[in-house]
Amino acid sequence: GAAGFIGSTLTDRLLQEGHRVIAVDNFDDYYSGKMRFLEPHLGDDSFELHKVNILDQKELERLFRGVEVVYHLAAQAGVRISVKDPMRSHQANATGTLRVLLAAKESGAKRVVSSSSSSVYCNAKRLPVSEKDEAVPVSPYAASKLSAEMYCRLFYELYGLESVSLRYFTVYGPRQ
């Protein structure tokens, strides 16, 4: 999800700090115009851009070789589209995360930072919510994001792959 709002902002920051960035995005038609966020980096020797679907585990393994941290920001966002097409959300968010984790493990990455969503809390009984509050998904989108979190936790427990899942609320900033 390197070309999305969060991914492209992270790309900017990592490059500013002198890191090498291997950016992956599928450039799904659901989000138009994302390439404009990455265009300024196309001539940068520290930046590589690959059009890859996160379901392509073998290609992810190839790209992740030698990578220390994988920032997993790819997703099919949106509650409404998940109700209309639950499999689309599941494939991108749950299965996609599993593929990213498998590729990270196989390629020797040390850590995966995964994007989740405040949607996992759904109809919170109190505000503000806490990480200790029960996650009760009420949409396929929320269920797929919670499943992704569970995979991240399991990969740490089973394989020692460090991971953290960030439950974003309303994300906003420059470029919007």
Q: Shortest CA distance to 83 belongs to which of 116, 55, 129, 119?
A: 119
The CA–CA distances, whole Å, from 115 to 41, 43, 46, 72, 119 equal: 23, 28, 24, 6, 12
Cβ neighbors of 132 (< 8 A, separation 6 or more) are none
Nearest to 86, CA basis, from 37, 144, 130? 144
Please give the Cα distance from 81 to 77 (Å, whole number): 8
Catalytic residue among 141, 151, 156, 168: 141
Q: Give yes or no: 141 in active site.
A: yes
Active-site positions?
Answer: 141
